[in-house]
Structure 1
Amino acid sequence: MAEETAIFAGGCFWCMVHPFDELPGIKKVVSGYTGGAKPNPTYEEVCSGTTGHTEAVEITFDPEIFPYKKLLEIYWRQIDPTDAGGQFYDRGPSYRPVIFYKNEAQKQVAEASKKQLQESGRFKKPIAVTIEPASAFYPAESYHQDYYKKNPAHYEAYRQGSGRAAFIREHWRDFDGK
């Protein structure tokens, strides 16, 4: 089977790369912007809130080795799925949590996964992650790519300081979330 791509938004894209990177069947993880109107936006433009884009990661994967459903399981464990207004320290539309589906099969799997999480009772509030059709994905500037590898101390300080790491520990004790 051919490679596929998945696009997930979950707050700062720096924190969304490491959990997926270097797993069997994952070919690459790219930080970028999607869902907006302006072609090739810059980080500054996206942060200004004028482009309509969301920070996201595009994951290229081999579905025979690492199925889309398994990607979703990792995705849910990286975010606060009950917070539609951003993620942790990062607030606003460019940090909203979204599953951007590439085809009808991804949409169906994502909807079933969201329903399963809602019904699990793990969270008291409703699951607020939206599931939307994918649009053009624009890679972010090179300094944002593989940030956790290039700046490990700053990455870890950000992950801890933003509240993401503590949230993951509290709600997913069985998973470290990287």
Structure 2
Amino acid sequence: MIIPEEKEYIGLWNNIIEIHKCTKELYLLSEEYSENLKMFIQPIKEMRDALEHIIRAYDKLLSNESLDEKDNDEYIKINLDKALGHEYRAFFDTVDFLSVTFRYKISEVLKDYSYNEIISVYPDYEEWAVRLTEIPEEIADLRKRKDIGNTEDITSIIDKYKKIVIDELLYFYKTIYREILPLLN
């Protein structure tokens, strides 16, 4: 019997682990930045469902059932594939939530100031304002391509989306509080 750590499963396991770690990091961040520190339950449900499939795979691996080895291996692979799908959905649920949260917070904090007021104290805002109009289209494109069955490298999509949300939206949100608001007030 092939055990899940063997070569055939390394890529699958690496994807499950990397997506899970990324999702957990972003999920904790989403809790901290959400209004009233509320918990967002959907990603937790997806991660729980992923764990269920991992447990099924290991149960089959460790059980003494008399199914032939090929059937057991196929069952294990199917369940690990399903676990990956749940982890992938958990990531997207989390990063979608964070994206909306940061864009809303940016909009809310700047709504009382005119474009000219902001530019007068922070000239780089001109570039940020343009970028903030581009980001929703990029996110929509990533969300459109998020199908786990897509042949595109899923880690590439995850990396791009995480970069937009953390390296751009969170960075700009922090910049507003650190640099722009003190100059506006």
Give TM class, smaller chain.
under 0.3
TM-score relative to the length of structure 2: 0.24
Output the TM-score relative to the length of structure 1. 0.25
- Which one has a bigger Cα radius of gyration? 2
Which protein, 1 or 2, shows the higher relative CO under an 8 Å CA cutoff with sep ≥ 6? Answer: 1
Give the number of the structure whose residues are more often strand, by fraction.
1
